[in-house]
Chain A
Amino acid sequence: GEDVEQSLFLSVREGDSSVINCTYTDSSSTYLYWYKQEPGAGLQLLTYIFSNMDMKQDQRLTVLLNKKDKHLSLRIADTQTGDSAIYFCALNNAGNMLTFGGGTRLMVKP
């Protein structure tokens, strides 16, 4: 089955850029997603990238996809304290179900 890995924790200062990384093993996914989960809440879809794209920009968010290295990243520009949350990458598999990474906890210090 699909294996999706993320680092556990990232700490940045307010105003800096954050880069959250994700590696995966199965390259058959059509779409790759980033979800955000704030404390005590459900998951919110932040952005996604189609597998034939290398980059997608959406306001402060930039998604980079390196299919050769099976590496996905999410860059948040001008990180704010409100960006503190857990970020999950997720891939859809052949059955169109999601496989989530373990999540990266982003802490933004003032």
Chain B
Amino acid sequence: DTEVTQTPKHLVMGMTNKKSLKCEQHMGHRAMYWYKQKAKKPPELMFVYSYEKLSINESVPSRFSPECPNSSLLNLHLHALQPEDSALYLCASSQEGGRGGELFFGEGSRLTVL
């Protein structure tokens, strides 16, 4: 299994809603990532988990809250988002100790904030 699975594929939410994005991988990877991608732009790193511990937070606003319940799962909890947070949210995983940057990406969750 070489897939990273993200759900939901599409999400529309209001600014007062609370929702979550989910990501799952069964490749035994111990590093997992959240990226945000706006249209026609490269992905921007948000968070990195290494061995289920948050290792990098790229100054992301607190309305985005990551969670890594176990080594296969990564969640991104969303609360009080703004319309400018509308984007494609990509999850990725990689082997620890592998070539840095060899990431396996999911298909993404396209988020629209009204």
Contacts and interface: CB of A to CB of B under 8 A. Distances in A.
Partners in one complex: yes
Nearest to B35: A43
Interface in B1-37: 4, 6
A101 B40 CA distance: 12
A13 to B, nearest CB: 24
Size range of the interface on B? 20 to 34
B35 to A, nearest CB: 9
B43 A43 contact: yes
Interface string A12-35: 000000000000000000110100
Interface residues of A, number: 22
Interface string A83-100: 000001011100111101
Contact of A100 (B4, B6, B42, B56): B42
A38 to B, nearest CB: 10
Interface of B: 4, 6, 40-43, 45, 48, 56, 90, 92, 99-108, 110
Q: Which 5 A-B pairs have the closest CB atoms?
A: A96-B100, A42-B105, A100-B42, A92-B101, A92-B100
Interface of A: 30-31, 33, 40-45, 48, 88, 90-92, 95-98, 100-103
